[in-house]
Amino acid sequence: MEATAKKIENPRVRIAPSPTGLLHIGTVRTALFNYLFAKKYNGSFILRIEDTDKERSQREYENDILDGLQWLKIVWDEGLNPEARDEYLGDYGPYRQSGRAGIYQSYIKKMLDQGTAYYCFCSKEDLEAQRQYQMSIGQAPKYNGKCSNLPKETVEKYLKEGKPAVIRFRTGGGSVVFQDLIKGRIEFNSALLGDIAIAKDPSTPLYNLAAVIDDYEMKISHVIRGEDHIANTPKQILLQDALGLPHPEYAHLPLILGPDRSKLSKRHGAVSVNHYREKGYLPEAMINFLAFLGWNPDNDREIYAINHLIEEFSLERCQKSSAVFNLQKLDWINGFYIRNKSIKKLAEMGVPYLIEAGLIQPIFETGGHLAGIGGIELGETYLIPETKEKIDIITLENIVSLYQERLKYLSELPELVDFFFKNELDYPQELLFWKDMSQTDIEKALGGLEGVMGAVKPNDWARGHLEEILVQRAAEMGPAGDRGYLLWPLRTALSGKKFSAPPFAIAEILGKEKTLLRLKQAKEKLR
């Protein structure tokens, strides 16, 4: 059962970002919900660029928005052509508002002719003074209607003189009521609005009017957007009435809050989607996470792939109350998707981060069969700049696999595995000490390890065998069989880290020679 009694069939919905900043988490959440709604009901999802603010709109931001949506595979059916962005897909273009002046003109003219809109010549200073005055007498500020009844001749004279003007909408009084598909019945007293500015000139509408015209022209059936736009809805409904246009259905998604329950903003950390992409969150994890920012299934399941989201999505299950952006939850979901990748795929995704951190470099010798990921060419063999050795992709897969269980996001990888790519580790010698071990104990442990491991035949150098012999040896060493007396110094000597993968696996990957060298280097550090 949907929140609305009307059956939803082939809806047309849209995301209408303004390219005035990097793609924001909130915009993607809105895009996702529109996308899910469109897919669920066999509808169309439209991407419209609201670039009426010429000063603040930039192509760079538009590209960031498109790149982010494409990365997340939130695919639109109409709008800018993702492959050739100067072109449009769909029958209702142009899909950039900057290209639609001709369409807007006829609507604005109609409103001026019918008198539902008028020219206002009040200067900025006048308006500010009015505002100050109204506030000083305890009134909510709104336009005082000074130009609402100027004689026609005066208007014409002013226009001829080139006096700066805006076009205002005669909002009238009375209440506007609409049935929000998420929030329920909403009533708004339009007398509070005053006559709002709707256009800069006869071909340049401001946001509310442009949105109304485009939603109509693009046959939008449902406007699903953030709650921060709820105050625009009565204005848009009044404009639709003035123009004799039908009303689309409205659904306002709850606000996204930071952990301190204030509106999510830069203060809470990064809000641009690209940040999360660069940090190594997987697109499917982002989608899963964003879906829960305002929607819940009717069960406890938390992992949802996009096709399941499409199946289960409904506006009825969107919540009225705010959603909290919880980074731990995102990390948890991302970890889940990382654990579910094949090791081959995970290594392929991790390699660009290792390259970026300078731990490895691609070698361009394989010619034809290089695959590109994130702009970096991937091959089969890499160079380790510090050791001047080569490392193959299989070894890299082995290294990455050690951390598959604990990785929260891919950019954590270099820091976890850097010790595989170094000649010598740089770590405080105290790191080697386990519990109450003395220097002599450590030296003994390291020396013992050198002996036992040095005796392992190269063919037996495998994690299972190493574990077998070392665990046995460790049990003999420490008090009451505390294996840490041997295994802690081993692990820290090999990795230089307090927390790392099991030492046997590290030793296997490092190889016998390097393992013995690290034990020797660690012993030297103690001197």
Residues belonging to the active site: 266
Which residues pair with residue 162 across a beta bridge? none
DSSP H or E segment with residue 46: strand 44-47
Place of tokens 């954590």: 412
State the sign of the Cα–Cα–Cα–Cα dihedral 339, 26, 205, 186: positive
Given a contact cutoff of 8 angstroms between Cβ atoms, the answer to whether 390 and 382 are in contact is yes
Which residues pair with residue 205 across a beta bridge? 199
- Tell me the C-alpha distance between 372 and 512, whole Å: 34
Compute CA distances 12 → 7, 78, 183, 240, 479, whole Å: 14, 10, 20, 18, 72
- Tell me the C-alpha distance between 147 and 155, whole Å: 9
Given a contact cutoff of 8 angstroms between Cβ atoms, the answer to whether 35 and 287 are in contact is no
In 357-438, which residue ranges form alpha helices assigned H by DSSP? 393-401, 413-417
**C-alpha gyration radius of the chain:** 32
The footprint of ligand GLU (CB under 6 A) covers 16-18, 50, 211, 225, 229
Number of CB atoms found within 10 A of residue 163's CB? 12
Given a contact cutoff of 8 angstroms between Cβ atoms, the answer to whether 427 and 459 are in contact is no
SS3 187: strand
If 0-12 CB within 10 Å is exposed, 13-18 middle and 19+ buried, where does residue 467 land? middle
478: CB partners within 8 A, 6+ apart? 484, 485, 486
Given a contact cutoff of 8 angstroms between Cβ atoms, the answer to whether 514 and 453 are in contact is no
Length of the chain in terms of residues written: 527
- Tell me the C-alpha distance between 498 and 433, whole Å: 11
Q: By C-beta, is 18 or 495 nearer to ligand GLU?
A: 18
DSSP H or E segment with residue 345: helix 343-356
- Tell me the C-alpha distance between 19 and 49, whole Å: 7
Query: Which pair of structure tokens corresponds to residue 223?
Result: 């406007």
Query: Which pair of structure tokens corresponds to residue 1?
Result: 């059962």
